[in-house]
Amino acid sequence: MGFVHFFVQHDRLRLDHAHSLATSPLLGHYRSRQLVSALLAIGLLSSLIPVPLHAQTAPYCQQSQAAIDQKETLRQVAATGNPDAQKRYASLIKQHGARLRACRRQAWTQNQAIWLRLYPCDIKSGALEAVLDRIVDRGYTQVNVEVFYNGKVLLPANDNPTPWTSVLAGSRADKTDLLADIIRKGRYRGLKIYAWLFGMNFGASYVRRPDKQQTLARNGLGQTSLTANTIAGLSVELGSVNPDEAFVDPYSLQARQDYLQMVQAIAKRQPDGVLFDYVRYPRGYGAASVASKIQDLWVYGDASQQTLLQRALNYRGMELIRRFLGQGFISGNDLRDLNLLYPNEREPLWQGLNPSRLTASLPLARRVSLLQSDLWQLSVAHASQGVLDFVNAAIAPVQRRGIPAGVVFFSDGNLSVGQSGFDSRLQPWDRFPSSLEWHPMAYATCGSPNCITAQIQRVLQAAPRGTQVKPVLAGIWQQSVSNRPPLEVQMQALQRMAPQIHSVSHFAYSWQEPGSDRDRKYCQP
C-alpha cells in the first residue's frame, strides 16, 4: 500500500500542475499546440500512469481523486483537438467504466442512479462529457434525465411535435438533440440513461393556452392548481419552490393525446427506461392536505365530471351523482324527487354500489346516510382511477418498444386519514402494475434515517412479490441538509433494513454539484 500511495501522490502532483495550466485565465493566450507542448513537457500525455483498481478505495465505488484529476485534465486537453489526448481520454473513460462495473458487482447496490436536469448550456462542446464524467466519478451507474418538466420538453426545437416548448428554444441550436446525445455519450461510459417525465403536472404554460384550459384539473371550490394553495414538489434546486406546476384532469382526452404524442417522441430515442413522476393530484396546505368532502377532490374538470356521471347504471343514480357533485351532499328531498322524475326505476344504481343494503324497511334518514357514504366512496375511487388510467395510457407506447417503465411516488400519497378522509394527492401507488419499476421517494425529515426507512418499509410490505422496488433518497454526501442525514448514513440504514434492495437513486445532481449546475444553468450557450 505504501508503493501505491506514493504512486498516486506522485501522479497527482503532476496532474495538479497540468490542471493549473489547463484552467489558467491565460489559456486564451495559448494556442492549443502550446498547451499540449506544456503538458508533454511534464509527461502527462506521453506516459499516463493508470491508477490500479485496488487503489480505488473510496466508498460506494467512487473514483480516487488522482483518477478524477487525471481524466478531467485529459478531457480539457482533448477538447483542444489534440488526437493523442483524445485517444488517451477515450481509453481512460473505458478504464473507469470497467472499474465501476467491477466494483458494483461486489457492492450492495449493484445499480445506483442520480437525477439530472439538462440546460441549453449543455450543448456546448465538452459540457455533457464533463457532467457524465463527474457522475461516473461519484460511482453512479444510471442517470435519470429530466426530459419533461415545468412545461418544457427535451426535444430538438425543430423536431418537437408536442404543444410544449423545447428546452433548447432560443439557444440557436434548433437541430441539437440533447436527449439523443446524452443517451449516446452516457452509454459510451457504461451508464444507463433513463428518461424522467412529469406526469399529470403539465406546466403552467400549457394550461394557460386558450385551447388547453379545459384540460385543467378543478376542485369543487372553483380552484385549479394555479389558484389553490398547494405544496410544490421537491425541486432540483435546493430549498426552492416550483411556480410552474399545473395539474391536468387525467380524464381529459386532449391532455392524454398530447402527452402520448410526447411520450412516443421520447421513446423513439430509445432510452434505457422511462420514469413517470407526478402521477397524482396536488397537495394542499394544512387542512387542505386532507380530502374529506367531495369539493376537496379534483374531479370537477369537464372530462372527469362527465366520466363520473357515466359510472351511473340508471337515471336515478346519475341524478344523485349530479346533485352530490353540485351540492356536496344529498337529502331526503332528493330521494323524493327521484320518485317523481324516474317512477319506473326502483333504486339509484352506480358502479360498486351494493343495492341489497338499501332495503325498503330502512328509515329515510338511514337511506340518505348510506347513499351519501357510497357516493363519497365512489367519488374517491373515481379520482384514484383517473391516476391509474393516466399511468396505464402513458406506459403503453414505452412498453410496446420493450423499454422498461417505472413510476415515481410518495409512500404516504395513498393514506387514509381519520374515518373518511384521504391524502389529497390520491396517489394509489399500491395499485400500480407490479410489472413497473417502483421508485418510492423517501423524503421524510426527522433528523435521522428512521423515518426514511419507515417509508420504504411501507412500500416493501405492500409490493407484490417480484416487484422491483428502487428507493429514491434525497441528500448530499458527507453532510446533512434540510434535516436529512448525509446520504451515506441513509444508505447504511437502508442496507440494514432491506439488504434485498440492490438499486437506489439519489436526488439530485444539482444538490451534490451546485457549482456545476449553476454554471451550466446560467452560462451563455
Same domain, 189 and 322: no
Percent of the chain with pLDDT over 70: 88
Check pLDDT > 50 for residue 210: yes
Task: Check pLDDT > 50 for residue 6.
Answer: no
Whether pLDDT at 434 is above 90:
yes
* Same domain flag for 74 and 195: no
pLDDT of residue 118: 97
Q: pLDDT band for 233, please (50, 70, 90 cuts).
A: confident
C-alpha cell of residue 357: 343494503
Per DSSP, the chain holds a count of helices (H) and strands (E) of 16, 16
DSSP state of 236: S
Residues 511 and 391 reside in one and the same domain: yes
Looking at residue 475, its pLDDT comes to 96
Coil, strand or helix: which one is 369? helix
Q: What is the pLDDT of residue 361?
A: 80
Claim to verify: residue 420 and residue 509 sit in the same structural domain? yes
- Rounded Cα distance between 161 and 470, Å, is 32
Q: Average the pLDDT over 488-492 and give the result.
A: 97
| pLDDT beyond 70 at 58 | no
Q: Is the Cβ–Cβ distance between 475 and 465 less than 8 Å?
A: no
Short-list 328, 308, 323, 163, CA closest to 249: 308
Given a cut of 90, is residue 163 above it in pLDDT?
yes
SS3 call for 197: strand
Tell which of 107, 134, 154 closes a domain: 107
CA distances from 74 to 2, 18, 33, 69 (A): 26, 9, 14, 9
Is 56 in the same domain as 26?
Answer: yes
144 by DSSP, 3-state: which?
strand
CB 395 within 8 A of CB 279: no
Whether residue 227 sits in one domain with residue 127: yes
pLDDT above 80 (res 364)? yes
What confidence score (pLDDT) does residue 240 get?
65
Residues 221 and 136 in one domain: yes
User: Which pLDDT band, with edges at 50, 70 and 90, does 442 fall under?
Assistant: very high
1-10, 30-39, 127-136, 209-218: the lowest-pLDDT one:
1-10
Predicted local confidence at residue 31, as pLDDT: 39
Q: Which amino acid is at 277?
A: D
Lookup: cell for 17: 500542475
Looking at the fold, whether 508 and 496 belong to one and the same domain comes out as yes
Q: 352-358 long-range contacts, Cβ below 8 Å, gap at least 24? A: 352/377, 352/378, 352/381, 353/313, 353/317, 353/378
| pLDDT of 277 | 98
Rounded to whole angstroms, the Cα distance separating 306 from 308 reads: 5
Q: Which of 62-66, 306-310, 317-321 has the lowest mean pLDDT?
A: 62-66
pLDDT for residue 110 is more than 90: yes
- Tell whether the model's pLDDT for residue 46 goes beyond 70: no
Lowest mean pLDDT among 148-157, 174-183, 227-236, 495-504: 227-236
Where is the domain boundary, 328, 357, 384?
A: 384
Q: Half-sphere exposure of residue 329, counting CA atoms within 13 Å on the CB side?
A: 7
CATH number of residue 273's parent domain: 3.20.20.80
- Residue 22 pLDDT greater than 60, yes or no: no
Residues 6+ apart with CB under 8 A from 141: 100, 101, 104, 110, 111, 112, 113, 190, 191, 192
**Same domain for 245 and 262?**
yes
For residue 39, the enclosing domain spans 1-107
**Euclidean distance between CA atoms 463 and 309, whole angstroms:** 32
Instruction: Please indicate, yes or no, whether residues 92 and 190 belong to a single structural domain of this protein.
Output: no
Q: How many CB atoms lie within 10 A of CB 422?
A: 22
Which of 80, 107, 134 is at the close of a domain?
Answer: 107
Average pLDDT (359-383) is 94
Least confident of 179-188, 225-234, 494-503: 225-234
CA angle centred on 507, ends 264 and 499, rounded to 5°: 100
The pLDDT of 461-488, averaged and rounded, is: 96
The single-letter code of the amino acid at 303 is A
Least trusted range by pLDDT, from 28-32, 94-98, 192-196 = 28-32
SS3 of the chain: helix, strand, coil, percent, to 5: 45, 15, 40
C-alpha cell at 432: 400500480
User: What does the pLDDT read at residue 34?
Assistant: 46
For strand 230-231 and strand 283-284, is the pairing parallel, antiparallel, or unpaired? Answer: antiparallel
Quick one: 306 and 292 in the same domain?
A: no
- What is the domain count for the chain? 3
Give the separation between CA 161 and CA 293, rounded to whole angstroms: 40
Q: Is the pLDDT at 182 greater than 60, yes or no?
A: yes
- Is pLDDT above 80 for 39? no
Looking at residue 33, its pLDDT comes to 43
pLDDT score for 28: 34
Q: How confident is the model at residue 4 (pLDDT cuts 50, 70, 90)?
A: very low
Do 160 and 278 belong together in one domain? Answer: yes
Mean pLDDT estimate for the chain? 89
Q: What is the pLDDT of residue 239?
A: 65
Residue closest to 20 by CA, chosen among 100, 76, 67, 93: 76
Per-residue cell: 391:
399511468
